[in-house]
Every structure is written in structure tokens, then in C-alpha cells.
Amino acid sequence: MTDATTAGTAAVKTGRPSLDLHVIGPIVALLALILIGALMNPNFLSYGNVTNVLARSAFIGIIAVGMTFVITAGGLDLSVGSMAAFIAGLMIIVMNALVPTLGTGWPTILAGMAAALAIGFAAGLFNGLLITQARIEAFIVTLGSMGIFRSLVTWLADGGTLSLNFSVREVYRPVYYDGIFGIAWPIIVFLAIAALGEIVMRHTAFGRHCAAIGSNEQVARYSAVHVDRARLAGYVLLGVLVGVATIMYVPRLGSASSSTGVLWELEAIAAVIIGGTVLKGGFGRVWGTVIGVLILNLIENILNLTDLVSPYLNGAIQGVIIILAVVLQRQKKATR
């Protein structure tokens, strides 16, 4: 996409339009936040804090990568937060149940991970089939399944908390807290998935088809794109990624309850849009989403760095910054 070489003759067109603010907007916002943070607290750029923020971004980050595909294809998924809670709950139940047979070590954990991925797959399939086969608006389907998953986890936990067997937790813990070469596992997994996502979005037919479907479903259908299949794949991919996020989340807290993953869906969608993906579909970029997630998590981190007038106002400041971050990428839409 870099060289402006065009067909045969030199194009008269003046450089590509609006690659400017729209592209660098989120990056500028991110840099501005980092600068503010560094000025406010010398520990902000410390290894520990950076690791904390990145690792914590991983859950929503991994989900938001999947969400980027769904939104690019003109869809939406409100159920991801509840889905994460539901998967975490079932995963814990599965692992606890396996302790007597498989012991408290890695076999149990691996089985739990497999279960998480399988449940994520199934949950994504459930949403996707209702949307593509029963042709119900994605908003309604996933609003419904949000309620369903949330209820189910509350019910599984009997209104309380599902706790992972204590010995299993000790073995599993390093998956969140340790890493390799000083980089925590969640960060590695997040970045790997983001990189993969970016490649899939830009360098595979699937990514292109998502954009085409989001841009104009009819056109995509007429161009031999398997619209329903691609969309379904998007929701399933998202489900599996929620499973992956859960795999990283459970070792952090070792438990799941009805308050797990509350509002993750809004955060994930916000990250996607802050990153420059269009809510109505047709255009998506995964790297933007990564930046969006980082922006959201940095705001929270920075708010903890300082003493505000009142913690009640945190939400207001967060809101203002989210809007400001996007103002940076606003385009002067002359024609449109």
C-alpha cells in the first residue's frame, strides 16, 4: 500500500486522500497519554507498571481483535463479556471435576483450556447461526445471549463465586504472572494474536471478504463470496478468542462469578472504534484496535496514578478522554 505507482501511466491524482489524521490519530492519542502518564508519575514507565498495563489489556485486547472482524463485516457482538464469564465458570467447573482423575497438574489445566476453546467455539457458533441462518439482527441475538450467558454463570455459581481448586490454581498461576524473557505470557499471547489478526485481515481472503460484506452485502454475494459462511466464521472466531482470553484470565483471579467480564463488550467495541474501524462495517484494522485497547487501559492506569478531586469523577474523565482520543482522528469530511 505504500508505493503510489499506478496503472501504466502516471496518475494525475494528488496523493492518496486522508491517509493523514485518520491513520495517525490513534497513535498520537496513545503517545499523548503516555507522555501525560510519564509526566505525572516517574514510575509510570517502570517495567512493572508497563507489564501490568499490557498484561491486563490482554483479555479485552484478544477479544477486541475478534470483534474487529465481526464489526468489519457489519456485525456486532454484545455477548462477549457474559460469554467470557460463562466460559470461565464452565472451565473452572471442568477443571475442578477433573482433579480426582487427572490430578492437580498440567493435564487438568490443558483439559480446562481445551474446554474453554470448545465452549467459546460453541458459543460463537450459537450466535453466528442465529444471525446467519435465522437472520435475526446481531444486536438482538447477542443482547439475548448476553442475558443467557450471564444468567447461566450466576446459576452455575449459585449466585456466588466459582473457585478453582487451590492446588490447580498454584500450578496455573504462572500462565498469567510469568513469562519468557521478562515478557508476561498474556502480553505475548495478545501480541501474537494481534499480529495474526492483522495478517488475516490484510493478507487473507477472509479479511477481505469481511470488509466486502460490511461494505455491501449484496455485492459480496454477487462476487462469489460466501457471505453467511464468512460471517459465521467471524462470530466463531470471536467466540474462540473469548475462550483464549478466558484461558489467560482464569489464572489471574482463579474464580468466576456473575460480575466477571461485566461491560467488556462495551470496552471491546469502544477499542475497535477508537482504533479506526467503522461501526457500520466495510473497513477494519486490527492494529488500530490494539492501540484502542491500550488507550482505554492507559486511561484507567493514569487515573490511578494521581489523586483526583473525587474518585466519583473518574468515569467523567475517562469519558472526556475517550472522546478526545477520537477527536484526533476526525476527518474534515468535505464531500461526504
Partner 1 sequence: QDKATIGVSIPAATHGWAGGMNYHAQAAVNRLEEVYPQLDFVLATASDPGKQVSDIEDMMATRNIDALVVLPFESDPLTGPVKRVAEAGKWVTVVDRGLSEEGIEDLYVAGDNPGFGRVAGEYFRQRMPDGGKIVVLRGIPTTIDNERVEAFQKALEGSGIEILGMEHGNWNRDDAFTVMQDFLSKYPEINAVWASDDDMAVGVLEAINQAGRTDEMWVLGGAGMKEMIKRVMDGDKMIPVNVTYPPAMIASAIEMTALKFVSNAPVSGRFIIGSVLITPENAESYYFPDSPF
Partner 2 sequence: MQPAPQTTARTATSAAHAPILALAGVSRSFGPVQVLFDVDFDLYPGEVHALIGENGAGKSTMMKILSGYLEPTTGEVMLDGAPVSFTSSEDAEDRGVVLIHQEFNLADQLSVEQNIFLGRELKRGLFLDHKAMRATTNELLARLETKTPAWATVSKISVPEKQMVEIAKALSREARVLIMDEPTAVLTRNEAEILFRQIERLKAQGTAILYTSHKLDEVARIADRVTVLRDGRHVLTAPASELSEDAMAEAMVGRELSNLFPDKADANAAETVLVLKDFSVPGIVENANFELRRGEILGFAGLVGSGRTELMEGLIGIRPATGEIRVNGKARQIRSVDDARKAGIAYLTEDRKERGLLLNQGMRPNLTLLALQKFSRILIDRDAEEKALDRSIREFDIRAPSREIKVANLSGGNQQKLLLAKTMLAEPEIVIIDEPTRGIDIGTKQQIYQFVRRLADEGRSVIIISSEMAEVIGLATRVAVMRTGRIAGTLKGGDINEDAIVRLAMGLEKKAEGND
Ligand X SMILES: Nc1ncnc2c1ncn2[C@@H]1O[C@H](COP(=O)(O)OP(=O)(O)OP(=O)(O)O)[C@@H](O)[C@H]1O
Binding-site ranges for partner 1 (CB under 8 A): 41, 43-44, 46, 48-49, 52, 56, 59, 154, 157-161, 163, 169, 173, 177, 249, 252-255, 257-263, 300-301, 304-305, 307, 310-312, 314
The answer for 276, left when phi > 0, alpha when psi is -120 to 50, beta otherwise, is left
Secondary element (H or E) of residue 255? strand 255-257
Tell me whether residue 13 or residue 280 sits nearer to a second copy (CB atom): 280
Pick what 266 binds: partner 1, a second copy, partner 2, none; C-beta below 5 to 8 Å, kind-dependent.
a second copy
Closest distance to partner 2 from the beta carbon of 334 (Å): 6
d(CA 192, CA 325): 25
Asked if residue 257 binds a second copy (CB under 8 A), the reply is no
Beta bridge partners of 255: 163
The footprint of partner 2 (CB under 8 A) covers 1-2, 4-9, 11-14, 16-17, 199, 203-205, 208-209, 211-212, 214-216, 218-226, 278, 282-283, 334-335
Q: Residue 193 is which amino acid?
A: I
Asked if residue 335 binds ligand X (CB under 6 A), the reply is yes
d(CA 146, CA 217): 26
Contact 210, 69 (CB under 8 A): yes
Neighbours of 173 (CB within 10 A): 15
Strands 255-257 and 161-163: antiparallel
Q: Of residues 177, 219, 279, 306, which one binds a second copy by CB under 8 A?
A: 279
Closest distance to partner 1 from the beta carbon of 141 (Å): 21
Tell me whether residue 133 or residue 304 sits nearer to partner 1 (CB atom): 304
Closest distance to a second copy from the beta carbon of 325 (Å): 8
Helix (H, G, I), strand (E, B) or coil at 179: strand
As to burial, measured by CB atoms within 10 angstroms (0-12 exposed, 13-18 middle, 19+ buried), residue 334 is: exposed
Site for a second copy in 128-167 (CB under 8 A): 130, 134-137, 139-141, 143-148, 150-152, 154-155, 158-159
To the nearest 5 percent, what fractions of the chain are helix, strand and coil?
70, 5, 25
Q: Of residues 1, 7, 39, 323, which one binds ligand X by CB under 6 A?
A: 1
Pick what 41 binds: partner 1, ligand X, a second copy, none; C-beta below 5 to 8 Å, kind-dependent.
partner 1
Q: 256 is written with which cell numbers?
A: 468466576
Asked if residue 218 binds a second copy (CB under 8 A), the reply is yes
Residues 2-5: contacts with CB under 8 Å, at least 24 apart: none
Closest distance to partner 1 from the beta carbon of 94 (Å): 17
d(CA 135, CA 78): 17
Q: Residue 136 is which amino acid?
A: I
Site for ligand X in 79-118 (CB under 6 A): none
Query: Where do contacts with a second copy occur on this chain (CB under 8 A)?
Result: 74, 78, 130, 134-137, 139-141, 143-148, 150-152, 154-155, 158-159, 217-218, 221, 266, 269-270, 273-274, 279-280, 310, 312-320, 322-323, 326-327, 330-331, 333, 336
